[in-house]
Amino acid sequence: MVKVIKKGLETSVQDYPGRIGTLNLGFPSSGPMDSWSFRLANVLVENEPGTAALECQFMGPTLKFDSNRTIAITGADMSPKVDGTPVPLWESIEVKKNQTLEMSFATIGARSYIAFSGGINTNPWLGSRSTFHKAGVGGIEGKAIQDGQILPLNKSKAVGERKIKKTSIPVMSTNKKWSVEVVKGPNDDWVDEKGHKMFLSSNWKLQSKSDRTGYRLEGPKWSFTEKATNKGLEHGTFPSNIIDQGYPMGAINLAGQTPIILVNDGPSMGGFIVPYTVPSASFWKLGQAKPGDIFNFMEISVEKAQELRAEQSEICSEASLLFSKKENILTDKLTIKIDNIKIVDFDKEKMNEKIKSKIMEKRGMKNIKVKFFD
């Protein structure tokens, strides 16, 4: 078990891909905002990539361990320390009984992930352990972790030293600017050509009034087609109003003149148009952005979005592991080149010896050499 000494700013239990197949019931998928970093954290401790772990937002927790446990920390750099000694990101860490993990404010990125060998063992709700704060479900009592709580962990197993290749680590922005891919639609025909050019060429600032439900953006004004300005009353009076429709995850929801990106805990439907959608492979960038950061959007095709998703899934696997020197040394010692090796079938040798003895006994021969050929 692990005891929460300090909870951090908002630290919650999440799993991947979260709560799937429940949008029709009004429940979003939830899950990690940066699933790339999340999955690699689990790979480092030999868990399945989607195993429940902690998501730490802006400032991490302080945790005390009551037994030996292998952990891994990925995502944002929150200057993690074990008993005051700095520990690395993107590789497995052995924490001993009674040691304390302490994390600070995020210096690069916004969300950090802590995976434990064996995983977090909370009760699943609608098939997922992910915390959905606004409904108070999942995780531990449906909320972010609290001071004094105990994190229930599954039984751990021995884990070898592991490290992620540099080429498999997502590159965090260090200048507060992010280039985010988008796919057109489903309501792109409500925005005119001028509006599309404006959106794709402008800087969009992430507002402080943003959370796991939606990212509010600040930028220029939109312009619309006649479909938006000359429509039936059932669609509402403002150009961005539309009769209630389903929202895809990642929808850039246009509320008046304010774009809101619907993220992991976003609503499943509503009455605003969605001219663009952020594909799932680009969600990690949203998860690592802080209020005040700037987004520039780049249009890609649906096929390209699917390709990026497949590439990311391949990266978030053991294919991204760079095993430690300790393990390589062991492997090198066991790998020995042997020349002129003779392979002996011992069962056959024994049988030949029996035959030889019987021949000698039958013929009364004592000093005879018998050689068998295959």
- 352 is a domain residue: no
Predicted local confidence at residue 326, as pLDDT: 45
**Domain boundary pick from 163, 190, 218:** 163
Identify any residues that bridge with 27 across adjacent strands, giving them in sequence order: none
Query: In this structure, what DSSP letter does residue 36 have?
Result: H
208 and 276, same domain (yes or no): yes
Q: Give yes or no: residues 241 and 290 share one domain.
A: yes
* pLDDT the model gives residue 2: 96
DSSP for 233-288, please give it. GGG-SSTTEEEEEE--TTEEEEETTEEEEE-TT--SEEEEEEEEE--GGGHHHHHT
pLDDT value, residue 291: 97
Using alpha carbons, select from 263, 285, 259 the residue that is nearest to residue 176.
285
pLDDT by 10s per residue, the chain, length 374: 899 999 999 999 999 999 999 988 889 999 999 999 999 999 999 999 999 999 999 999 999 999 999 999 999 999 999 999 999 999 999 999 999 999 999 999 999 999 999 999 999 999 999 999 999 999 999 999 999 999 999 998 888 899 999 999 999 999 999 999 999 999 999 999 999 999 999 999 999 999 999 999 999 999 999 999 988 888 888 899 999 999 999 999 999 999 999 999 999 999 999 999 999 999 999 999 999 999 999 999 999 999 999 999 999 999 999 875 444 433 334 444 445 545 455 555 555 666 556 655 655 555 555 554 54
Position 336 scores a pLDDT of 43
Structurally, the chain folds into a number of domains equal to 2
Q: Is position 346 within any domain?
A: no
Please identify, among 135, 163, 191, the residue that sits at the C-terminal boundary of a domain: 163
Does residue 171 belong to any structural domain of this protein? no
Question: Same domain, yes or no, for 58 and 152?
Answer: yes
Distances (CA, A) of 4 to 20, 191, 294, 372: 29, 49, 34, 74
Residue 320 is assigned to a structural domain of this protein: no
Range of the domain at 238: 177-300
In a domain, 359, yes or no: no
pTM: 0.84
Q: Which helix (DSSP H) or strand (DSSP E) does residue 294 occupy?
A: strand 294-299
- Residues 132 and 201 occupy one common structural domain: no
Same domain, 42 and 103: yes
pLDDT of residue 353: 64
Quick check: is 233 in a domain? yes
What per-residue confidence (pLDDT) applies to 199? 98
User: Which of 300, 322, 346 is the last residue in one of the domains?
Assistant: 300
In a domain, 45, yes or no: yes
Are 203 and 155 members of one domain? no
Examine the domain organization and report whether 85 and 197 are in the same domain.
Answer: no
Evaluate whether residue 111 is within a structural domain: yes
- Return the CATH number at 288: 2.40.100.10
Same structural domain, 182 and 282: yes
Same domain flag for 16 and 148? yes
Residues 141 and 258 in one domain: no
Q: Are residues 203 and 268 in the same domain?
A: yes
Clarify whether residues 258 and 204 are in a common domain.
yes
